[in-house]
Amino acid sequence: MAKTVLLVEDEPNIVEAIGFILSRSGYQVHSHGDGATAVQTVRREAPDMLILDLMLPNRGGLEILRDLRADPDLKSLPVLMLTARGQKKDREQAELFGVSAFMSKPFANGDVLERVRALIGEA
């Protein structure tokens, strides 16, 4: 059975690119674009891993990550955080909240796939 990746990202081009890369490699990909309802979507979808944008409408990725790590059912979910900013402060805060991996935009397609495989345990 295919592993499922939930992509919480509001930029359509990024959603399309990552969705294509991962689905072509055999992953089932679902996307969601609103930070306010992201945690509920993670609970409902029960993905094998989450790709989470740092800057989302209505609620930021760091807040979402903090809530996921506080939830006993979701605290071990692998989370790859994406950001266009990539500032040291953002990385440090994401690490403090328990991010599994961090990747800056723009990214190489192969790097995303490699990171997903590693986080899901298929490296």
Chain segment 48-84, per-residue pLDDT in tens? 999 999 999 999 999 999 999 999 999 999 999 998 8
Q: Which is nearest to 109 in space by CA: 117, 120, 98, 101? A: 117
- Sheet containing strand 4-8, edge to edge, reads 28-32, 4-8, 49-53, 79-83, 101-104
Q: What is the CATH number of the domain that holds 91?
A: 3.40.50.2300
- Number of domains into which the chain is organized: 1
Q: 26: number of CA atoms within 13 Å, CB side?
A: 6
CA distance 101 to 51: 10
| Rounded-to-integer distance, Cα 45 and Cα 118, Å | 21
pLDDT the model gives residue 22: 97
pTM: 0.95
- Domain carrying residue 106: 4-120
7-37: pLDDT as tens digits: 999 999 999 999 999 999 999 999 999 999 9
